[in-house]
Amino acid sequence: MTRMMLTLLICTTALAQSGTASLSGQWTATYDGKTFVRLELKPAGDVFTGGLSLGNIEVDKQGAISRVAESPRTLVPIFDVARRDALILFSRKDGESVDRFELKPIDATHAELRLLLSDADRRDLAAIGVPAPKPITLTKAKRP
């Protein structure tokens, strides 16, 4: 029984590490020729360090992107990085507030980035007629 548990632990650790390695790198999202999201992930054990840069976005009535501004070149450090199954959860400071995000891998070169809104944020947006933004598809940069 102990040998089986040890084998399972080794396999689980190997899968977690390979998942971390596959998500590490530079990810971007573009719209109308503008790069409005830049995300850099670097492996740090079974989680990540890195940074995120977001340009301003506008969404339509369905929450789909309708307009963007180019993201700043400087990345804001991410923190509170955690893994939940295949998802990567993290935060970044935006002025005085903290934004929470979820990164969900789609395949080896694509992932979805979702802004995690609080109930209060959702109510505030709904009050002014703005829906929650849909997830943003990121593309992983090819290694040189």
Tokens 């007629």 sit at which residue?
129
CB neighbour list of residue 131: distance below 8 Å, 6 or more residues apart: 59, 61, 62, 63, 125
Q: pLDDT (tens digit, 9 = 90+) per residue, 74-130?
A: 999 999 999 998 899 999 998 899 999 999 999 999 999 999 999 999 999 999 999
- Kindly report, residue by residue over 130-141, the tens digit of the pLDDT: 999 999 999 999
The two structure tokens encoding residue 75: 């990345």
pLDDT > 90: percent of the chain: 72
Global model pTM greater than 0.85: no
Judge whether 45 and 34 are in contact, CB under 8 Å. Answer: no
CATH code, 2-140: 2.40.128.210
> At residue 8, does pLDDT exceed 70?
no
For 23, the token pair is 């998500």
In Å, what is the CA distance from 85 to each residue of 19, 88, 136?
Answer: 10, 8, 20
CB-neighbour burial class of residue 39 (10 A; exposed 0-12, middle 13-18, buried 19+) = buried
Q: For the chain, give the mean pLDDT.
A: 86
List of residues 6+ apart from 117 with CB closer than 8 A = 125, 132
Q: pLDDT at position 47, please?
A: 86
Sketch the domain layout of the chain as residue ranges: 2-140
